[in-house]
Amino acid sequence: MNFKPIKTYSKKLESKIINYCLKSKPYEFCELPSRNLAILKIKEYIAFLFSNCEIFICEEDSIINFFIALTIKEEGAIIDFCFGDEIKMKTCFAEFRRLFKQEHPKILGFYSEVTRKHKLKSYLSYLRRYNKDAEIKVDNNGKITVYWR
């Protein structure tokens, strides 16, 4: 697998992210009643990611298998956004973590706050079932964080 950092995005990638967000609804702004407003907010979020995150992509035959946007901190890499091919996602993510930790040995692991409301139980069940190396923690305020070491 070949993961490469990217600094800009194509219309094709933007379209993939928009379609993923409209289908999966990982953020509240993806659920806006107005589809046009939701797309506008998603485009703003994409611009935010490319301005503020380290972004990596894995493509095979022009097909996006994996996309991840990270914020690097001393304690770990925060996953700001991640999506990929349904079949290859788990393998790509595991390989990305392994390679990234090799290049950044001080990184303790990866973590992400779960902000979705849409199908939250299904999403957490999916993580528990298919991401055995994921540790899900819920704090006293109900904030859900997923850790991968």
In a domain, 7, yes or no: yes
pLDDT for the residue numbered 22: 96
In a domain, 29, yes or no: yes
Each residue's pLDDT tens digit, 104-116: 988 989 999 998 8
Tell me how far apart the alpha carbons of residues 41 and 104 are, in angstroms, rounded to a whole number: 33
Give 62's pLDDT tier (boundaries 50, 70, 90).
confident
In a domain, 138, yes or no: no
In a domain, 122, yes or no: no
What is the arithmetic mean of pLDDT over 50-74?
Answer: 93
Each residue's pLDDT tens digit, 5-19: 999 999 999 999 999
pLDDT for the residue numbered 63: 87
The answer to whether residue 90 scores a pLDDT higher than 90 is no
In a domain, 124, yes or no: no
CB of 134 closer than 8 Å to CB of 127: yes
Work out the end-to-end distance of the chain between its first and last CA atoms, rounded to an integer number of angstroms. 20
* Confidence (pTM): 0.90
Long-range contacts of 116-122 (CB under 8 A, 24+ apart): 116/24, 116/25, 116/26, 116/27, 117/28, 117/31, 118/24, 118/25, 118/26, 118/30, 118/31, 119/25
In a domain, 103, yes or no: yes
The answer to whether residue 74 scores a pLDDT higher than 90 is no
What is the arithmetic mean of pLDDT over 94-101?
Answer: 94
**Parallel/antiparallel/unpaired status of strands 110-114 and 144-148:** antiparallel
In a domain, 144, yes or no: no
> Can you give the CATH number for the domain in which 27 is found?
3.40.630.30
- pLDDT, averaged across the chain: 93
In a domain, 137, yes or no: no
- Domain range enclosing 61: 3-109
What is the arithmetic mean of pLDDT over 17-32?
Answer: 94
Tell me how far apart the alpha carbons of residues 45 and 81 are, in angstroms, rounded to a whole number: 10
- Domains in the chain, number: 1
